[in-house]
Amino acid sequence: MAELSTLARPYAKAAFEYARDKQQLSQWAEQLATAAAVITDDGLKAALNDPSMTAEEQAKTLSEVCGDALGEPVRNYIAVLASNKRLALLPEIYALFMTFKANQEKTVDVEVVSAFDLADSARDKLAAVLGKKLERQVEVRTSTDRNLLGGVLIRAGDLVIDGSIRGRLNKLAAAMNS
């Protein structure tokens, strides 16, 4: 996985810098999301992996499948990816692009998994506290996992805060076994 990220990073950075300079971050994010979703289709993957297809044909095929969802700059970007045999990196490029975009906009998506449904007031309070700690605008998504027993599990990018009872019991068991 790290290798894909390493290969995708310069392409994602170039796309991000271009979109930022043209003040089109949202448009590029939407268009890259479309291309990344389309490229994961097994039928399209098989067609694009046909060795008889040229890079131009691969780029044209992907662009045609995406239709009007892609603007000319993104079509040109896809042509560059195709000529460098990097079309398969589109999902990773999109993920890195979104990371760069979130850092630029000082936002972060936070997933909160709890053993019970969180009240709106608790979710808002948690978002405010996390926003101060992370120095970012926080978008909170919540889900419920009854296996946690109690507490919450918070994921914000690479940061994971395990405040669940299950997590604490696992730590206790590990400490007792060592």
| Tens of pLDDT, residue by residue, the chain (178 residues) | 558 889 999 999 999 999 999 999 999 999 999 999 999 988 888 888 888 889 999 999 999 999 999 999 999 999 999 999 999 999 999 999 998 998 888 888 888 898 888 888 988 898 888 888 888 888 888 899 888 788 888 888 778 888 888 888 888 888 888 7
**What's the pLDDT at 36?**
94
Considering the domain architecture, whether residues 55 and 98 belong to the same structural domain is answered as yes
Distances (CA, A) of 110 to 6, 47, 102, 152, 175: 25, 37, 12, 12, 29
Considering the domain architecture, whether residues 145 and 161 belong to the same structural domain is answered as yes
Considering the domain architecture, whether residues 30 and 93 belong to the same structural domain is answered as yes
- Domain end, chosen from 102, 136, 163, is at 102
Considering the domain architecture, whether residues 78 and 112 belong to the same structural domain is answered as no
In this structure, are residues 140 and 110 in contact, taking their beta carbons and an 8 Å threshold? yes
Considering the domain architecture, whether residues 69 and 148 belong to the same structural domain is answered as no
**What's the pLDDT at 2?**
57
Name which of 1, 65, 56, 68 is nearest 30 in CA terms.
Answer: 68
Considering the domain architecture, whether residues 88 and 143 belong to the same structural domain is answered as no
- Domain end, chosen from 102, 129, 158, is at 102
Considering the domain architecture, whether residues 148 and 97 belong to the same structural domain is answered as no
- Domain end, chosen from 84, 102, 120, is at 102
Considering the domain architecture, whether residues 70 and 112 belong to the same structural domain is answered as no
Q: What is the pTM of this model?
A: 0.69
Distances (CA, A) of 141 to 123, 147, 158: 9, 18, 16
In CATH, what number is assigned to the domain containing residue 71?
1.10.520.20
* Tally of domains in the chain: 2
Chain position carrying tokens 């239709």: 67
**What's the pLDDT at 79?**
94
**What's the pLDDT at 157?**
72
CA distance 154 to 108: 12
Considering the domain architecture, whether residues 66 and 16 belong to the same structural domain is answered as yes
**What's the pLDDT at 83?**
93
Considering the domain architecture, whether residues 121 and 43 belong to the same structural domain is answered as no
Considering the domain architecture, whether residues 154 and 86 belong to the same structural domain is answered as no
Which domain covers residue 11, as residue numbers? 2-102
Considering the domain architecture, whether residues 98 and 111 belong to the same structural domain is answered as no
